[in-house]
């Protein structure tokens, strides 16, 4: 599955749906972002049931500000409309796969209960 480009206009629509959305906050000038991009793309091809999305922090500064993105790349995982993971750094493939596995294994009723929603 190809990655989706997220903007201020479509972010909520994509992120609020059911299922898992992985968001890569990046910028063209960022060396670690460029190194992480092929890892992210490779995972997108392997996990067709997950929405892989990218936010260009230069083109979408309001999204970076909204989520407090201070360092890029930052990977954010959203499941069923709830942010369940957000961490800066270019993850190696095994770590990214582990994050995906962890997010898949979450008990979302428990997550919502902990958030008090």
Q: Which of 39, 115, 49 is nearest to 84 (CA)?
A: 115
Contact 25/69 with Cβ under 8 angstroms?
yes
- 2 in catalytic set: no
Q: Which one of 6, 20, 33, 53 is the catalytic residue?
A: 33
- 30 in catalytic set: yes
Q: Which one of 22, 30, 99, 100 is the catalytic residue?
A: 30
Q: Which of 95, 55, 61 is nearest to 76 (CA)?
A: 55
Catalytic residues: 30, 33
């Amino acid at each position: 599955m190809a990655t989706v480009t997220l903007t201020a206009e479509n972010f909520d629509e994509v992120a609020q749906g059911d299922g898992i959305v992985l968001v890569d906050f990046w910028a063209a000038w960022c060396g670690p972002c460029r190194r992480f991009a092929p890892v992210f793309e490779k995972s997108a091809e392997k996990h067709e049931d997950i929405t892989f999305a990218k936010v260009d922090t230069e083109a979408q500064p309001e999204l970076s500000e909204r989520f407090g993105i201070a360092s890029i790349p930052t990977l954010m995982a959203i499941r069923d409309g709830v942010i369940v993971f957000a961490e800066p750094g270019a993850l190696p493939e095994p770590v990214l796969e582990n994050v995906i596995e962890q997010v898949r294994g979450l008990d979302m009723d428990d997550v919502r209960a902990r958030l008090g929603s």
